[in-house]
Amino acid sequence: MNEEPEGRGCGGCLLLLAALAALVAVLAGRPLWDGRSGDVRSAPESALPAPARTVPAEPSGRRPGVVNIDTEQGLRSTRAAGTGILLDASGLVLTNNHVIQGATTIRGTVTDNGRRFPADVLGYDKSGDIAVIRLRGAARLKPAAFGDSGLVQLGDPVTAVGNEGGKGGQPKVVTGRITALDQQVTATDQSDGSSERLTSMIETDAPIRPGDSGGPLLNTSGQVIGVNTAASAGFTMNQGAHRGYAIPSNRALAVARQIQEGRASDTVHIGRTAMLGVQVRSVTRTPGQGTAPPAASGALIAGVLPGTPAEAAGLPEGAVIVALNDRPVDSPGTLTGFLLRHHPGDTVRLGWVDSAGRRFTTPVRLAEGPPQ
Catalytic annotation, residues: 98, 129, 213
Tell me the residue ranges of DSSP E strands in 238-298. Answer: 244-248, 268-270, 273-275, 278-282
- Which residues have a Cβ under 8 Å from the Cβ of 5 and sit 6 or more positions away? 76, 77, 78
Q: Give the pairing type, strands 66-73 and 105-110.
A: antiparallel
- Burial (CB < 10 A; 0-12, 13-18, 19+), residue 345, is exposed
Run of H or E residues at 97:
helix 97-100
Residue 20 DSSP class: S
Q: Are 77 and 175 in contact (CB under 8 A)?
A: no
Q: Which amino acid is at 64?
A: P
Counting Cα atoms < 13 Å in the Cβ hemisphere of 360 gives 17
Q: What is the DSSP letter of 6?
A: S
Q: What is the helix, strand, coil percentage profile of the chain, to 5?
A: 10, 40, 50
Chain-centre distance of CA 271, in angstroms? Answer: 14
